[in-house]
Amino acid sequence: MGHSTLDADLSAKAGAPRPVFGSILCGVDGSRQSHEAARQAALLATDGAALHLLAVTSETRTGATATALLSRRRALAALERARLAARDLGVRADVDAVGAAKASATLLETARAHDLLVVGISERSRMGAILIGRTAAVALHRSTVPVLVARRPRYAPFPHSILLATDGSAASRAAAELAAALAHRHGARLTVVAGAAGDPGRRHELAPEASTIFAATGAEPVIVDARGKPHVAITRAAQELGVSLVVTGSRGLTGIAALRSVSECVGETAPCSVLVARPPATRG
């Protein structure tokens, strides 16, 4: 981590803008989805972020009955493929393979030292397992840092079309700042979806987010109305607008309370990649 801090300091002294995420961790397991996750992580790192690719090797048993969930040989091959793909995008990635009983726990613990965690997620089912132990679902539920669940873009190149889902809360403001910064750094189109967006009072509540976006991009955001259950409305808007990335906030709910989490539902059901911001209180 020391070299990324030094690079950021040198860039700041040279007048270069800081990257949106100083350090990005991406989980790699050799699947097609994790390769897409590594590609999207590299695209986000083209603004100067440090990129670290991590594969967690594991076995279901020990001794003669051992069965590798992710062998070290396969892990190293997957890491090399992801590293070369990042290099093709102009990004130098550090790679590491570690052995652990639970990939999800190891990945989440390692992510604490980074600014963003990126994992792949199934395109066909919210129950699909990508990294060992359904890491995408676990990350959405428990990660203390922002999480990007990556899906292959259907409509527009990643991350050139962004949908910000907001309810005007403090958590949504953190998401608005991230969405605005990403739109600015990657030249993306940014649309805002919010419940009762046409109501004058609601528009007033959304003014801080609109101001943040205008300050970063120089353009007033288009705000569309979301009707119905929030996660269903957001998913529908993402499909209708043809976006490649949804950015949403999180109240940091865990346990039973998180069963009502809109951000988790969106992360698991959206037709595109989803970036879930975290409130500062959950990132200590």
How large is the average pLDDT for residues 72-86?
95
Select from 44, 39, 50 the least CA-distant residue to 78. 39
How large is the average pLDDT for residues 154-175?
88
Which tens digits make up the pLDDT trace of 172-199? 888 999 999 999 999 999 999 987 555 6
Q: pLDDT over 70 for what percent of the chain?
A: 78
With cut-offs at 50, 70 and 90, classify the pLDDT of residue 66.
Answer: very low
How large is the average pLDDT for residues 81-107?
94
Chain CA centroid to CA 169, Å: 20
Which tens digits make up the pLDDT trace of 192-209? 998 755 566 666 778 888
Average pLDDT, the chain: 82
How large is the average pLDDT for residues 99-107?
88
Residue 260 has pLDDT above 80, yes or no: no
Residue with tokens 């040989």: 73
Which tens digits make up the pLDDT trace of 221-256? 888 887 888 889 999 999 999 999 999 998 655 444
Q: Mind listing the domains of the chain with CATH numbers? A: 2-150 (3.40.50.620), 161-283 (3.40.50.620)
Token representation of residue 216? 């970063």
The pLDDT score that the predictor gives to residue 4 is 43
> What are the angstrom distances between the C-alpha of 74 and each of 56, 69, 102, 270?
11, 10, 17, 30
Which tens digits make up the pLDDT trace of 14-43? 456 789 999 999 999 999 999 999 999 999
Cα 74 from Cα 67, distance rounded (Å): 13
